[in-house]
Structure 1
Amino acid sequence: MKETRIGPLRMQPGVELRHVLTLFFASFFGIATMSFINASQPYVLTEIIGIPFAEQGSLSGRLTIIQELALLAMLAPVGAISDKFGRKPVYATAFFIMGIAYFLYPMAGAIWMLVVFRLVFAVGVAGNAVMLPAVANDYPQEASRARMLAACFIFNGLGLVLILSVMRGLPVRFADLGIDPVTVGRYWLWTMTAVCFLAGTVVLIGLKPGAPRQLSRREPMLATFRVGLEAARNPRIALAYLAASVSRGDMAVLSTFFVLWLTQTGVEAGLTTGAASQKALTFYIVIQACALPAAVVMGWLLDRIDRVIGLAIAMAIAGLGYGSLWFVPDPLGPLMYGSAALIGVGEMSANLSATSLIGREAPERGRGA
């Protein structure tokens, strides 16, 4: 069977160019669709629900915790389901579910409705969060695995930068058309609904069906789930699980509290909620833009050093980035650009090193779990 190559990336037998391009397409929309709900939340809480500033931090924290707990409960089952039924239907369904959640979220009229819609969203996020690294580990040969993951994370970052660069200005543009603030918020999130449906449709059409070495004989879902649990007996895999949890928390903190903090700072400085959201998302985009070169460097480095050492380096960089925020006197001032850049490098390094370690140590059978 002919081997597919894309530059330095060498694929497993049976993986075609269209499968890889579809994965890159899904990667482009992955992080943007998962993180936008937190990035847009300050606007929803202020203009649609009417939550006072003093209560938004604690409410955002509760919503994030609820979503993350639901997400954690779903991760292993989603992986096991994909090991049994294939990556394609799970990956596509994840985008469709997130699209539905984005449609419902700005229709909420009370806090309990936000909670319910975030639980729906968590199901989609779980599918997206599991399928990207699973498919990215499935497709390449071992020698190309870290670089393949780096390529996917680069598309993650590009998508987040480009999509949010467009999305961040929409509330101001809608408002300039004379649309009321509540409807502005709904149009804003419904735009992301369309993005999710587009991504899900392409994945459903173009991704490779099935899971590696499981196309002819499907194992019971609990059996593949058990593989994931038993793999944690390997200390390196257990470390990778822990690092992946930390990296996930890193992303949740950035998209929830970083954007909320800067949005409230902007409103207190006299900006409208839409303009403040635009300013806050600008710094969030800087974080992701600076993460792109980090993916290239870390992908190259992780193919050449022990991946546990690479993980330690990545976590140290991430710690320095968050620590630098303590020394920024004005959250909307020029020094924030430097901290945002360092945070971006640390975030990407941590995510890539954790995922790469799992891909290196986990058995191919049950890798999704």
Structure 2
Amino acid sequence: MNATVLAARLLTERPRPRGIAGWRHAHWLAVGTVCLGAFLGQLDASVIALVFPALGRHFGAGFAAVEWVALAYLLVLVALLAPIGWLSDLVGRKTMYIGGFAVFGLSSLCAGFAGGLWILVGCRAVQAVGAAMMQANSVALVARGVPEHAMRRALGIQAAAQGLGLAFGPTLGGLLVEHASWQWVFWVNVPIGVLGIVAGWYLLPRTRAERAAVVPGPRLPLGKAHRFDFPGMLLITGATTALLLALSTASGLPLPGWLVAVLLVASAVQTLALVRQEQRAARPILAPGLVNTPGVRSGLVVALIGYLLLFCPLVLGPVLLTGAGVSTAGAGLVITLLPAAFAVAATVGGGLLPRGWSDVTRCRSGAVMAGAGLLLFALLPVSAGVSAVPLLVAGYGLGLLLPANNALVMRAIPAACSAVGGGMVNMARSLGTALGMALSVLGVHLAGAASGGRTVLLVLAGVAAAAVLLTRPGRPARPARPAGPAGPAGPARS
């Protein structure tokens, strides 16, 4: 078998078994498979916060260096979400999604055997490649495979799966660190990855017809209209990396102090260059035409803010609680309440609200609740019992905010652009997560664990108020999907 034939077989998406494809509720099986990837990605994201101290002790490194185990992952994720979304249009979202489970599981296995901190950082970067292959396609798989009337519910279930992953992460991380070793924080991903490969193969509908499978060769559409915006990708990666390095250097990373100013200037210059690049690119990575659609730009900012509000407490909470005398496992259990409330609100929380509430009202109400919870967390005494209440309030508010905001953004984006739109939502989420971690470490470094943590939480309460003001109703954009390799409009049936 030559390489071309092998590539054709690997890149040809197989249809689901007839019994599954013909079932009228089959789209929920596809949503469940997407939720498995969402669960795995967020489990891995939240478990890291509990393993930072153990990694610091094991490798003899400071907090500012250890945080790059998380930041390297997030930077690669931000860089690759858009190009992988573009590549998925050529190869097929199902193929790319299943491949993501394989890369993620294998790199997780290697991460547990890392012999040095920067080797571990490298393994985490490869992990992010697998995560990008899943995340760049998750929202698009839901949007294309679920009927219009069920989209908000499906996106809510996906957000709930993310919340469950976040919820299990702190508890699992605390227990594994105390009773096993930090290596098991990564090895636990392997069996979930294997399950994801099997589920994706049988339960996801194909997104490209067999005859349209893409194989390497001169027929690959690489005309001007199909070229990916690699300069834009490099500028986004460079601007984000420079900003996070500046924050890490200010947080104690052993680099010269003058480098902070240089990195901030470099980030600003690359951001300005990115704006110009996107205005003249044939196929811009940020798609100004989509970003400028009413409701999309503000929705992406709100998505960034939402994950900033979610991840700052996940990093700060263990620091504040262990500083108050709570054990690592106990701190993990308390912090679990934040994402657990997020998951409950994203799944069934909307049922407790008045039926006539729009997604805009849900977003604003959720932002108000999240801000109130973070404000209480900053002002009340820190203990396992007292801190539980504000974490529950903040998590429930974010569980109302983020699914409704995602629905607003995806509803405002034409269906034919769902993969690009989903990639931009995931990019905003990753940037919010990275900034949340970096700002938390910076606050602790500058003002100490207790004072710095409370200051950051007070700032976050103000950021939540900004999310209330930024939430805008979008203009629905649902033109008929063009017939082509992905098939006609409506949920996939194969």
Q: Is this a same-fold pair by TM over 0.5?
A: yes
State yes or no: 1:265 paired with 2:271.
no
Q: Which residue of 1 aligns with 2:207?
A: 210
Please give the per-residue CA displacement for 1:110-142, whole angstroms capped at 9, x wherever unaligned.
332233223222223333333322222222222
State yes or no: 1:30 paired with 2:52.
no
State, as a whole percentage, how many aligned pairs show the same letter: 19
Please give the per-residue CA displacement for 1:253-276, whole angstroms capped at 9, x wherever unaligned.
3444434554x537xx3x7xxxx4
Question: Alpha-carbon deviation of 1:221?
Answer: 6.3
Question: Alpha-carbon deviation of 1:71?
Answer: 2.1
State yes or no: 1:327 paired with 2:333.
no
Give the counterpart of 1:156 among 147, 152, 162: 162
d(CA) in 2 for partners of 1:293, 1:50: 39
Please give the per-residue CA displacement for 1:137-190, whole angstroms capped at 9, x wherever unaligned.
22222222111211222333345546765665344444xxxxxxxxx2223421
Q: Which residue of 1 aligns with 2:367?
A: 315
CA contact (8 A) 2:30 2:145 kept: no
1:199–1:64 distance in 2 versus 1, CA, 3 Å: same
1:338–1:197 distance in 2 versus 1, CA, 3 Å: same
d(CA) in 1 for partners of 2:169, 2:297: 34
d(CA) in 1 for partners of 2:190, 2:179: 18
Alignment of 1:222-241 (within 5 A): 222=228, 228-241=287-300
Please give the per-residue CA displacement for 1:69-100, whole angstroms capped at 9, x wherever unaligned.
33222222222222332221222222222223
Which protein has the larger Cα radius of gyration, Structure 1 or Structure 2? 2
Q: Which moved more, 1:188-197 or 1:306-315?
A: 306-315
Amino acid at match of 2:299: A
d(CA) in 1 for partners of 2:288, 2:208: 19
Greater RCO (Cα-Cα under 8 Å, separation 6 or more): 1
d(CA) in 1 for partners of 2:39, 2:304: 16
Give the counterpart of 2:190 among 190, 193, 199: 193
Q: Which residue of 1 aligns with 2:135?
A: 129
Question: Alpha-carbon deviation of 1:231?
Answer: 0.9
d(CA) in 2 for partners of 1:171, 1:352: 32
Q: Which residue of 2 aligns with 1:84?
A: 90
d(CA) in 2 for partners of 1:194, 1:169: 18
Residue ranges of structure 1 left out of the alignment (5+ in a row): 1-12, 175-183
1:216–1:109 distance in 2 versus 1, CA, 3 Å: closer
Alignment of 1:326-365 (within 5 A): 326-330=378-382, 332-365=383-416
Amino acid at match of 2:329: Q
d(CA) in 1 for partners of 2:344, 2:122: 38
d(CA) in 2 for partners of 1:115, 1:170: 20
Give the counterpart of 2:60 among 44, 50, 68: 50
CA contact (8 A) 1:103 1:189 kept: yes
Q: Which residue of 2 aligns with 1:117?
A: 123
CA contact (8 A) 2:50 2:332 kept: no
CA contact (8 A) 2:340 2:395 kept: yes
Alignment of 1:229-308 (within 5 A): 229-262=288-321, 264-265=322-323, 269=325, 276-295=327-346, 296-298=348-350, 304-308=356-360
Q: Which residue of 2 aligns with 1:145?
A: 151
Question: Alpha-carbon deviation of 1:39?
Answer: 3.6
d(CA) in 1 for partners of 2:24, 2:212: 16
State yes or no: 1:368 paired with 2:419.
yes
Please give the per-residue CA displacement for 1:212-262, whole angstroms capped at 9, x wherever unaligned.
9x9799974648766844211213111122222223333443444434554
CA contact (8 A) 1:44 1:106 kept: no
Question: Alpha-carbon deviation of 1:335?
Answer: 1.0
1:84–1:310 distance in 2 versus 1, CA, 3 Å: farther
State yes or no: 1:20 paired with 2:71.
no
Matched pairs, number:
334
CA contact (8 A) 1:149 1:299 kept: no
d(CA) in 1 for partners of 2:353, 2:141: 21
CA contact (8 A) 2:338 2:395 kept: yes
d(CA) in 1 for partners of 2:110, 2:414: 39
Tell me the TM-score normalized by structure 1.
Answer: 0.76
Amino acid at match of 1:205: Y
Amino acid at match of 2:323: T
Amino acid at match of 1:277: T
Q: Which residue of 2 aligns with 1:178?
A: none
d(CA) in 1 for partners of 2:150, 2:356: 11
Residue ranges of structure 2 left out of the alignment (5+ in a row): 1-20, 215-219, 229-281, 421-494
Tell me the TM-score normalized by structure 2.
Answer: 0.58
